[in-house]
């Protein structure tokens, strides 16, 4: 077990001298700090930076985001994925607007009650914005702590993560926000998964895995499950009014997003006609395919153009399609039709 007071001081000194310049580190506004942490969940820093800068320009304060149109908000979030993050965030800031006079609660017991606030978001925001003595345990921190302590437990288990959180909080320095960021910075830049820079690590003297020459054995690596594969036909259903059929999603993950009609490959055109009460030309002309890899699954999609003379409430003018929020998978499918010579998208 490493010596905490010495470790804490060494890590904090290293962080102050070496921390990356990131836009959310230039503000003390709890709303903006909270927004950055929501964006950083499951998303790399380099991807988040332009989104964060765009959001704080367009939504300058908590009230602006709370009052934003959901569809516009989803469109601005487009490309970050995990769309429940922004829906939950807007729900939470609306509650802050109503219950706390638009001021982010600095009492952890109140903040943790807000929608979408779990152990990590709660610990990060409360420590960085208000210096409350809470740990923010993400994947980087779990990897660092596993190596420091030669902890061979499964770091994906909630019970283990809870233990790690308590261990950090037991001797948390007064500079809680900086300490949490220092641990995360160490994991992101030095104690990396595949190529750790142990030679220049500021706390290498405290690392039990390094002493045992076992750094790459930690954290314990679970055997990854093979991703499920799904095969779809995706239809560009166009009418003679330069409109395209798009479906607004209602399921939890993609609620409010639009997508092209997507069906299992063995679905007949007759079934599609019946579903949307349309009469389609056949056969559909193939225009290309796309593979999209999600966290736990893979979509293989083949695109087809079909035409109809019908009108339908779900038809959208081609000129308006780019204004609508869509998943990256559907945006890439739309690029197939953009490559067509007579495309009007």
Angle at 51 between CA 49 and CA 53, to 5 degrees: 70
* Collapsed DSSP state (helix, strand, coil) of residue 296: coil
Residue 236: strand, helix, or coil: strand
Which H or E run contains 319? none
Cα torsion for 55, 61, 67, 69, to the nearest 10°? -10
Is the separation of the CB atoms in 321 and 249 below 8 Å?
A: no
Q: Phi and psi (nearest 5°) for 50?
A: -65, -35
Q: Taking a C-beta distance cutoff of 8 angstroms, is the pair 289, 301 a contact?
A: yes
CB atoms near residue 32 (< 10 Å): 22
Instruction: Tell me the three state secondary structure of residue 301.
Output: strand
Q: Is 37 noted as a catalytic residue in this protein?
A: yes
Query: Which position among 37, 243, 259, 302 bears the catalytic label?
Result: 37
Question: Which residues are tagged catalytic?
Answer: 37
């Amino acid at each position: 077990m490493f010596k905490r007071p010495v470790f804490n001081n060494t890590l904090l000194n290293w962080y102050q001298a070496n921390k990356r310049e990131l836009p959310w580190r230039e503000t003390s506004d709890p709303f903006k700090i909270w927004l950055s942490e929501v964006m950083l969940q499951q998303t790399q820093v380099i991807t988040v930076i332009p989104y964060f800068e765009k959001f704080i320009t367009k939504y300058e304060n908590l009230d602006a985001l709370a009052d934003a149109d959901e569809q516009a908000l989803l469109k601005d979030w487009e490309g970050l994925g995990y769309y429940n993050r922004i829906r939950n965030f807007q729900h939470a800031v609306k509650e802050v607007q109503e219950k706390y006079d638009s001021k982010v609660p600095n009492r952890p017991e109140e903040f943790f009650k807000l929608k979408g606030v779990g152990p990590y978001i709660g610990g990060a925001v409360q420590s960085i914005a208000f210096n409350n003595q809470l740990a923010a345990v993400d994947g980087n921190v779990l990897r660092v702590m596993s190596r420091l302590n030669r902890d061979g437990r499964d770091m994906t288990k909630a019970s283990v993560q809870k233990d790690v959180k308590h261990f950090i909080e037991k001797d948390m320095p007064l500079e809680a926000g900086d300490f949490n960021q220092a641990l995360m910075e160490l994991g992101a830049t030095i104690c990396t998964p595949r190529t750790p820079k142990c030679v220049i690590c500021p706390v290498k003297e405290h690392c039990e895995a390094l002493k045992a020459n076992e750094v790459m054995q930690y954290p314990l690596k679970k055997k990854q499950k093979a991703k499920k594969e799904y095969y779809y036909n995706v239809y560009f259903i166009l009418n003679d009014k330069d409109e395209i059929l798009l479906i607004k999603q209602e399921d939890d993950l993609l609620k409010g997003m639009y997508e092209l009609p997507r069906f299992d490959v063995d679905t007949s055109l007759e079934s599609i006609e019946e579903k949307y009460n349309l009469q389609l030309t056949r056969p559909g002309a193939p225009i290309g395919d796309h593979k999209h890899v999600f966290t736990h699954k893979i979509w293989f999609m083949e695109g087809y153009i079909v035409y109809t003379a019908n009108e339908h409430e779900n038809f959208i003018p081609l000129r308006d399609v780019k204004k609508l929020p869509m998943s990256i998978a559907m945006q890439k499918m739309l690029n197939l039709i953009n490559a067509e010579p007579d495309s009007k998208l």
